[in-house]
Amino acid sequence: MRHEPRIAPVADRVADLNRRYAHHAAIDVLRHALKDPAVGRTAMVSSFGSESVALLHLVAVVNPSTPVLFLDTEMLFPETLDYQRDVALKLGLTDVRVIHPDPADVARLDPDGLLNRTDPDACCNMRKTAPLARALDGFDAWITGRKRFQGGSRASLEFFEEEAGTGRIKVNPLVHWERDGVRDYMVNNRLPRHPLVSRGYPSIGCAPCTSRVAEGEDQRAGRWRGQDKEECGIHFVNGKAVRRPIAGEDAA
């Protein structure tokens, strides 16, 4: 009788992956992660935001056919949609999957497009968190652009981590990069900047919830300005998408 090989629990695989790749560079971590059976079927999640192009470029160098999930909330700046198409073409990414909110949910919960004003958390859940949960179904891991310098809970991030309650692995190739390193990489590789950055938008989300940032303000001051809200909150607990206000939780 033939027996299928036993797959180790996620926590054990994550510990082993971090041990094996502890001293590798970001591109080597990506290269191994996209082939290592201990990681499994992997997608990248990208906002195509102000600094996303650095990690997108690394993914394109390693394997341009890697699935890239882009959440079109249907409230993004036109510049972001144009930038997404331009970057995908320039980098030769061949499997960019544009994810939309469920039309039935939009019709039921936000028929007039004003939910972001009355309940921004519910808007983010409908337009971002729930669609991403559906899009990630069937993947064993996903690549994020999170970095230690972003502080908070990220200060001790490793290359690989277990995503609680889902059985998936998060891959964080850029954990050791500094802010200047990201910008230098973009300049050295002549990567296109998001057009809104030069117009005062260092952190870019949905158009109704993003405003210009004045000189001296925090880079994320323009996100949900005037509201008691800092993040869209993409998280999963026990396999279900939930919201949690954790600072800097953008995927990439």
Residue 62 pLDDT greater than 80, yes or no: yes
Buried b (16+ CB within 10 A) or exposed e, 9-32: ebeebbeebeeebeeeebeebbbb
Question: How many residues are there in the chain?
Answer: 252
Residue 135 pLDDT greater than 70, yes or no: yes
Q: Is residue 95 part of a domain?
A: yes
Q: Is residue 43 part of a domain?
A: yes
For residue 89, the domain's CATH number is 3.40.50.620
Q: Is residue 238 part of a domain?
A: yes
The confidence score (pLDDT) of residue 126 equals 95
- What is the spatial distance between Cα 173 and Cα 146, in angstroms, rounded to a whole number? 8
Instruction: Rank 5-14, 99-108, 119-128 by mean pLDDT and report only the highest.
Output: 99-108
Averaged confidence pLDDT in the chain = 85
The confidence score (pLDDT) of residue 4 equals 43
The confidence score (pLDDT) of residue 247 equals 33
Give me the mean pLDDT over the 175-197 stretch: 93
Least confidently predicted of 68-77, 105-114, 157-166: 157-166
Q: Is residue 140 part of a domain?
A: yes
Q: 168-171 and 141-143 as β-strands: parallel, antiparallel, unpaired?
A: parallel
Q: Indicate the pTM of the whole model.
A: 0.83
Query: 170: which DSSP letter?
Result: E
Q: Is residue 226 part of a domain?
A: yes
Give me the mean pLDDT over the 72-85 stretch: 96
Q: Are 49 and 76 in contact (CB under 8 A)?
A: no
Residue 34 pLDDT greater than 90, yes or no: yes
Q: Is residue 194 part of a domain?
A: yes
Alpha helices in the chain, H assignment, sequence order:
10-20, 26-33, 52-62, 78-91, 103-109, 115-118, 120-124, 130-136, 179-188
Residue 251 pLDDT greater than 90, yes or no: no
Per-residue pLDDT band at 1 (split at 50, 70, 90): very low
Q: Are 211 and 222 in contact (CB under 8 A)?
A: yes
Which residues contact residue 119 at a Cβ distance below 8 angstroms, ignoring those fewer than 6 apart?
A: none
Tokens of 151: 């502080």
- What is the spatial distance between Cα 120 and Cα 102, in angstroms, rounded to a whole number? 17
Q: Other CB atoms closer than 10 Å to residue 208's CB: what's the count?
A: 16
Residue % of the chain over a pLDDT of 90: 60
Which residues contact residue 32 at a Cβ distance below 8 angstroms, ignoring those fewer than 6 apart?
A: 20, 21, 24
User: How many folded domains does the chain comprise?
Assistant: 1
Q: Which residue has the higher pLDDT, 218 or 201?
A: 201
Residue among 124, 206, 209, 232 flagged as catalytic: 232
Residue 246 pLDDT greater than 90, yes or no: no
The confidence score (pLDDT) of residue 142 equals 96
Rounded-to-10 torsion of CA 170, 46, 33, 135: 70
Least confidently predicted of 33-47, 88-102, 197-211: 197-211
Residue from 54, 82, 74, 72 nearest 189 by CA: 54
Domain encompassing residue 229 = 10-242
Q: Is residue 249 part of a domain?
A: no
Residue 147 pLDDT greater than 60, yes or no: yes
Q: Is residue 195 part of a domain?
A: yes
What is the Cα Rg of the chain in Å? 18
- What is the spatial distance between Cα 93 and Cα 99, in angstroms, rounded to a whole number? 16
Note if 232 is an active site residue: yes
Residue 122 pLDDT greater than 70, yes or no: yes
